[in-house]
Amino acid sequence: MADQKAGQYDYDYEARFIKQRREHERIGMLPRVIKPRMFAPGEFALGDMRVFGRYTVAPLSALTCGFIELQPNEESAPRRMIPSIVAYIVSGSGKSIQEQNHFDFSAGDVVLIPPYTNYRFVAGDGGFRAWLPQLRLWHGQGLLSREPESADAKTELEEKVTRVFESRRRAAPQRAGTTRYDWFLSKLAEEDRIEREGPRVIRAADRKWETTRHGKLKFYIDRWTEAPACGPDVMAQEIAPGERSGEHRHIFEELLLVVAGRGHDIHEGATHAWEQGDLICVPPMIAHRHANDGNEVARLVSVWPRQPGHEFLGGIEHIDDASDWPK
């Protein structure tokens, strides 16, 4: 019996490597630049949130995304989800209504919606369009449920989710302690404080551009940002006509929306053309850079999974400087 179990474990172990090899082959076949049906009905442009939706449209596992477009003064349906929501406003303006609070936004801003928060969007007089990058982490943890619009339709699980989040938000601050466990207890109170006090809209005007070895960058959410929605990090990049970004490599995957301009990516020697509205997909461990082929400034918005991007495998390996970096 013991030998039989050992053989079973060996087979399972080997099967994992076989599956991983097939995934790498699929990554190689899938396109690096996607032309999504932007703002068309349907929620996910790169495969749905479920784990088995990965590697179906793009060579990405942890990231997918959707778009939302509302006509002038139109409202979205109310919703409440366990995962937090991050929305980059591509154009237009409006309000994010979260519980009973209203938060104005305009083009270039990032809207943050904390976990399990009732929300809806209301468009301004000119309507608006937004990009919603999302993580597939939650399905793997069984935390993808959405609350139905009718309270009478709630399941027992959804009732439990409501009770859990109500309890977490009533948690009393912990007295200072000296153990590691005390630190974990303090984190809940800290998360509740950030949710109460943190910005629900990060305004483009409040974030400064930085001239870096990788090019001109603006960080909306990074490791040091106290944000009430901490799924992906969010960064914007501008590339002047005829210029190119730096070249670098990281183990976490990356997804970029081309907000303006046209150009191409170079992924380990292979060229991938892109234009406004496209999604650029950068798989893990791929050396890459972006180049502007047009006559206007190219604007890209980039996201990557916040926690996997910063833990033990999170460092960025810089290979070459941006073309406009001082020599």
According to the model, what pLDDT value does residue 15 have?
A: 77
Average pLDDT over residues 248-262: 96
Phi, psi at 220, each rounded to 5°? -90, -50
What domain range includes position 303?
203-320
As given in the structure block, the two tokens for residue 145 are 């449920």
pLDDT band at residue 311 under the 50/70/90 scheme: low
Q: Is residue 6 part of a domain?
A: no
Q: Are residues 185 and 215 in the same domain?
A: no
Question: Where is pLDDT greater, at 295 or 223?
Answer: 295
* 187 assigned to some structural domain: yes
Q: What is the CA radius of gyration of the chain?
A: 21
What is the distance, to the nearest Å, from the Cα of residue 132 to the centroid of all Cα atoms in its chain?
A: 7
Same domain, 83 and 110: yes
Query: Are 229 and 296 members of one domain?
Result: yes
Residue-level pLDDT at 309: 66
Same domain for 243 and 308? yes
Query: Which stretch, 30-39, 131-140, 190-199, 264-273, has highest mean pLDDT?
Result: 264-273
Per-residue pLDDT, 7: 52
Same domain, 275 and 311: yes
In a domain, 2, yes or no: no
Please enumerate in sequence order all residues whose Cβ is within 8 A of that of 181, keeping only pairs 6 or more positions apart, or say none: none
What is this structure's pTM? Answer: 0.90
Give the tokens for residue 323. 């073309």
User: Which pLDDT belongs to residue 127?
Assistant: 97
Region of poorest pLDDT, from 119-128, 186-195, 304-313: 304-313
Do residue 234 and residue 292 come from a single domain? yes
Cβ partners under 8 Å of residue 65, min gap 6: 44, 45, 46, 131, 132, 133, 134, 255, 257, 279
Percent of the chain at pLDDT above 90?
Answer: 62
Same domain, 305 and 226: yes
Distance of alpha carbon 207 from the chain centroid: 18
Do the domain assignments include residue 5?
A: no
More confident residue, 111 or 152: 111
Domain-embedded: residue 228: yes
Candidate from 126-130, 177-181, 209-213, 251-255 with smallest mean pLDDT: 177-181
CA distances from 118 to 154, 162, 254, 313 (A): 15, 12, 29, 35
Residue 152 has pLDDT above 80, yes or no: no
Q: Which of the residue ranges 94-98, 161-165, 168-172 has the most confident prediction, judged by mean pLDDT?
A: 94-98
- Specify if 128 maps to a domain: yes
3-state secondary structure 204-270: HHHCCCEEECCEEEEEEECCCCCCCCCCEEEEEEEECCCCECCEEECCCCEEEEEEECEEEEEECCE
pLDDT at 184: 87
Residue 272 pLDDT grade (very low, low, confident, very high; cuts 50, 70, 90): very high
How distant is the alpha carbon of residue 30 from its chain centre? 20
Element (H or E) spanning 63, and its range?
A: strand 63-70
Query: Quick one: 218 and 278 in the same domain?
Result: yes
Instruction: State which of 139, 165, 181 marks the end of a domain.
Output: 139
The answer, yes or no, to whether residue 10 has pLDDT greater than 60, is no
Q: Is the pLDDT of residue 16 over 80?
A: no
Question: For the segment 122-139, what is each residue's pLDDT rounded down to a tens digit?
Answer: 999 999 999 999 998 877
Domains identified in the chain, total number: 3
Mean pLDDT of 162-188: 87
Q: What is the CATH number of the domain that holds 283?
A: 2.60.120.10
